Homo-oligomer: A and B are copies of this chain.
Amino acid sequence: SDREIVDLDDLEAAPASGVSWVDIQGFGNERLLVELAEIYGLHPLLLEDVVNVPQRAKVELHDDNLLIVLRMVRVNEDAEITVEQIGIVLGEDYVLTFQERYGDVFDPIRKRITAGHRRFKEKGADYLAYSIADSVIDHYYPALEVIGERLEDLEEEAVAYPTTAILQRIHFMKNRLLNLRRALWPQREALHSMVWETNTLVSEEVRLYLRDTYDHCVQTTEVIEMYRDMISGMLNTYLSSMANRTNEVMRVLTIVSTIFIPMSFLAGVYGMNFKEMPGTDWPWGFELFWALAGAVAIGMLVFFGRKGWLGSQDQKLEKPD
């Protein structure tokens, strides 16, 4: 039965048939936490671990309880990613979950329990704990997809407008990934030990299920590694776009300067005040000057055209396949 409990006496009075799941959201009420620890006989260190955040993700055996500390990742409507701690305490016939803040990702589990899903009925507390851990890991996929989309947007912008602002956004993204990686990596170890280190609380059958959860956890860390490689590629693209831009500025300067500087020299020559200067008194002298200057300009343009400096650099190649 799914009840919201305010007073702990209610909890104690609750019929202990089957597996019970107590979900604590927010750690404000310290007295309540201490009472809860007494009811379930939790080790003081275990309680400290679940309420002092952030802890590294881990799986530890404390007397009759298995403590599972994981990182929950949530994406809100503005695509912001929040990393939050969740502590799962697995006992003989109960599961306690401790969440930093209100709101979680467990609604699908609650629905399946309320709907009387077969497996939840047949299996014990360890299956419930597995379901919760699995649900935590599965919620990484949408978060990673959001990050992936952002990375693609960033890459496009890095090619189009390689500004320092873009570079800072790339580094901001990189730091976010580093943080996520730091949160997820110990989880991998923790789940690994949960699958392969035997204890009486987790049955062989549930271990089989946990192997898949572990595999998913490994996959998420691999995706993060791949994203990191993409970001280092982006830095290359960025630097290359900047070099391209400098090159283009230089080319414009070079083309204009090298065409007009020789022509200016020619005009300067005919502007000299020598008494006797051949050409100045010819009838077609001025036209001849223009012919000469035009020849120089055209020669230069042909030279640049052959070097491929006249068109834009990026229209030279077809699209990548």
Contact = CB atoms under 8 A, between A and B. Distances in A.
Interface string A222-264: 1000100110010111111111111111111110111011111
Interface of A: 43, 45, 48-49, 55-56, 58, 60, 62, 157, 159, 161, 163-169, 171-172, 174-175, 178-179, 182, 186, 208-209, 211-212, 215, 218-219, 222, 226, 229-230, 233, 235-254, 256-258, 260-265, 267-281, 283, 285-286, 289, 307, 309, 313-314, 316-317, 319-320
Nearest to A290: B269
A279 B276 CA distance: 11
A220 to B, nearest CB: 11
Given A45-B208, A215-B58, A257-B257, A273 B264 contact: no
Contacts of A212: 45, 48-49
Contacts of A248: 307
Nearest to A150: B321
Given A268-B271, A274-B286, 4 more contacts: A56-B218, A163-B314, A252-B254, A272-B273
A236 B237 contact: no
A82 B152 CA distance: 22
Contacts of A260: 261-262, 264-265
8 contacts: A164-B240, A168-B320, A172-B320, A175-B233, A247-B249, A269-B289, A274-B279, A274-B280
Nearest to A244: B164
A120 to B, nearest CB: 15
Contacts of A179: 226
B239 A238 contact: no
Contacts of A60: 211
A256 B261 contact: yes
A142 to B, nearest CB: 17
Contacts of A58: 215
A45 to B, nearest CB: 5
Contacts of A175: 226, 229-230, 233
Contact of A277 (B245, B250, B286): B286
B252 A243 contact: no
